[in-house]
Structure 1
Amino acid sequence: MSEIPVGERVQFYRKAQKKKQAVVAGLAGITEDYLSQIERGLKTPAMPLLHRLARVLNVPVSTLLGEPAFEEEGAIHPVGRTLQRVLTSYAPIPSDQPLPELAELRERVSAIWSLWQTSPTRFTDAAPLVPDLLRDVQFVTRVLRPTGDAAMRRDAYRISADLYFFLRTFTKRIGRPDLSLLVADRGMVAAEETDDPLRVAVAKWNLGQILLSQGEAEGAEEVALHAIEALHNDLPSDSHARIAVEGALWLVATIAAVRRGDFWTARDRLRERALPATRQSGGHNVLWTVFGVPNVGLHAVSIEVEAGETAEALRLADDVVVSHLPSLERRTTFALEVARCYDQRRDDAAVFIHLLTAEASGPEDLKYNILARDLIRGLLKRARPTYSPQIQAMAQRVGLLAR
Structure 2
Amino acid sequence: MSSDDTGAPATPTEPEPIRFGQRLQILRERRGMTREVLAGLVGKSTETIRAIEKGRHKAPGLDMVLALAEALRVRDLTDLVGTHTGRPAVGLFAGPGHARLPEVRDAINSLSLTTRHEAPPAAHLQARLGRAWSARHSSPDHREVIGRLLPDLIRDAQLAVRQAEAAVDRRAAQAVLSEVYSLSQFFIAYQADAAELLWRVAERGMVAAQEAEDPHAIGVAAWLAAQAHRDSGPGHYDAADAVTLEVLQYLEPLLPDATTPVLAIAGALRFEAGYTAARRGDTGTAWAYWDQARTVADRLPADYYHPATSFSRAIMGAHATTVAVELHAGGEAARQAVRAEAAVIPSRPRRARHRIEQARAWQLDGQPDVALATLAQAHEAAPETIRYNGYARKILLEETESTVAARRERAARLAVKIGLLS
TM-score range, shorter chain: 0.7 to 0.9
Equivalent residue for 1:83, pick from 101, 104, 108: 104
| Aligned counterpart, 2:295 | 276
Aligned residue identity for 2:215: P
**Structure 1 residue aligned with 2:270:** 250
Q: Which has the higher helix share?
A: 1
1:199 and 2:217 are equivalent in the alignment = yes
Instruction: Confirm or deny that 1:5 pairs with 2:18.
Output: yes
Deviations 1:282-331 (A, max 9, x none): 36334522112332222221222222211111111222122222322221
Aligned to 2:393: 373
Show the counterpart of 2:45: none
Q: Which moved more, 1:189-198 or 1:216-225?
A: 189-198
- 2:382 paired residue number: 362
Aligned-partner residue type, residue 90 of structure 1: L
Partner SS, residue 298 of structure 2: helix
> Does the Cα contact within 8 Å between 1:116 and 1:126 map onto a contact in 2?
yes
Q: State the distance in 1 between where 2:197 and 2:208 align.
A: 16
Mapped partners of 2:406, 2:295: distance in 1: 46
Q: 1:67 to 1:330 in 2, by over 3 A?
A: farther
Alpha carbons of structure 1 residues 68 and 123: separation in structure 2 relative to 1, 3 Å = farther
1:70 is displaced (CA, Å) by: 4.6
The CA deviation at 1:221 is: 1.1
**Correspondence for 1:331:** 351
User: After the TM superposition, which residues 220-231 of structure 1 pair with which residues of structure 2 at under 5 Å, given as runs?
Assistant: 220-231=240-251
Match of 1:161 among 155, 161, 178: 178
Task: Please tell me whether the aligned partners of residues 143 and 384 of structure 2 are also in contact (alpha carbons under 8 angstroms).
Answer: yes
- Deviation of 1:164 (Å): 0.9
Q: Structure 1 regions of 5+ residues with no counterpart?
A: 9-39, 42-65
Q: Aligned in 2, Cα 1:220/1:133: closer, same or farther, shift over 3 Å?
A: same
Structure 2 letter corresponding to 1:184: A
Q: Does 1:184 align with 2:202?
A: yes
Q: Distance in 2 between matches of 1:119 and 1:218?
A: 35
Residue 170 of structure 1 corresponds to 187
- Residues 345-380 of structure 1, C-alpha deviations (whole Å, 9 max, x = no match): 442211211111111111122222233222222222
Question: Using the alignment, how far apart are the partners of 1:383 and 1:392 within structure 2?
Answer: 13
Q: Secondary structure at the match of 2:120?
A: coil
In the alignment, is the contact (CA less than 8 A) between 1:231 and 1:246 conserved in 2?
A: yes
Query: Is 1:303 paired with 2:316?
Result: no
The CA distance in 1 between the partners of 2:96 and 2:295, in whole Å, is 42
When residues 251 and 362 of structure 1 are mapped into structure 2, their CA distance, relative to the original with a 3 A threshold, is same
Alignment partner of 1:92 is 2:113 = yes
Query: Is the alpha carbon distance of 1:400 and 1:239 closer, same or farther for their aligned partners in structure 2, counting shifts above 3 Å?
Result: closer
In structure 2, the partner of 1:104 is 124
Partner of 2:30: none
Question: Is the Cα contact below 8 Å between 1:70 and 1:76 reproduced in 2?
Answer: no
Greater relative contact order (CA < 8 Å, ≥ 6 in sequence)? 2
Choose the corresponding residue for 1:313, options 333, 343, 353: 333
Post-superposition Cα deviations, 1:22-64, rounded to whole Å, max 9, x if no partner, equal: xxxxxxxxxxxxxxxxxx79xxxxxxxxxxxxxxxxxxxxxxx
Contact kept, 8 Å, 2:325 with 2:333, in 1: the verdict is yes
Alignment coverage as a number of residue pairs:
341
| Aligned mates of 2:102, 2:320 — CA distance in 1 | 36
Tell me whether 1:232 sits opposite 2:232 in the alignment.
no
The answer to whether the 8 A contact 1:248-1:289 is kept is yes
Alignment of 1:116 with 2:136, yes or no, is yes
Q: Following TM superposition, by how much is the alpha carbon of 1:5 offset from its aligned partner in structure 2, in angstroms?
A: 3.5
Change over 3 Å in CA distance of 1:93–1:87 after alignment to 2 = same
Point out the more displaced range, 227-236 or 393-402: 393-402
In 1, Cα distance between equivalents of 2:225 and 2:87: 19
Which segment drifts farther, 131-140 or 309-318? 131-140
TM-score, normalised to structure 2, is: 0.73
Change (3 A) 1:211 1:124: same
TM-score normalised to structure 1 length = 0.76
The one-letter code sitting in structure 2 at the alignment partner of 1:82 is: E
Q: 1:274 to 1:99 in 2, by over 3 A?
A: closer
Q: What is the root-mean-square deviation of aligned Cα atoms in Å? A: 3.1
Per-residue CA deviation, residues 126-154 of structure 1 (Å, 9 max, x unaligned), is 2222222212222222222xxx2223222
Measure the CA separation in 2 of the matches of 1:103 and 1:213.
34
Matched, 1:261 2:281: yes
- Mapped contact 1:76–1:368 kept (Cα < 8 A): no
1:385 maps onto 2:413 in alignment:
no
Work out the CA distance in 2 between the residues paired with 1:221 and 1:67: 32
> Is this contact kept in 1: 2:358–2:374, CA < 8 A?
yes
Q: Does 1:127 align with 2:127?
A: no
Tell me how far 1:218 sits from its aligned partner.
1.1
Kindly state the Cα deviation for residue 249 of structure 1 after the two structures are TM-superposed: 0.7
**Aligned-pair CA distance for 1:91:** 5.0
Matching of residues 210-225 of structure 1 within 5 Å? 210-215=228-233, 216-225=236-245
What's 1:31 paired with? none
Write the distance in 1 (CA, Å) between the matches of 2:179 and 2:88.
26
Q: Is the 8 A contact 2:90 2:421 kept in 1?
A: no
1:163 Cα deviation after fit: 0.5
Pair 280,234 (structure 1): closer, same or farther in 2 beyond 3 Å: closer
Paired AA for residue 229 in structure 2: L
Q: Is the 8 A contact 1:298 1:320 kept in 2?
A: yes
Q: Secondary structure at the match of 1:236?
A: helix
1:84-119 CA-partner distances (Å, limit 9, x unpaired):
33323335332x323334343222221211111221
Structure 1 residue aligned with 2:167: 150
Corresponding residue for residue 31 of structure 2: none
Within 2, Cα distance between the matches of 1:142 and 1:324?
41
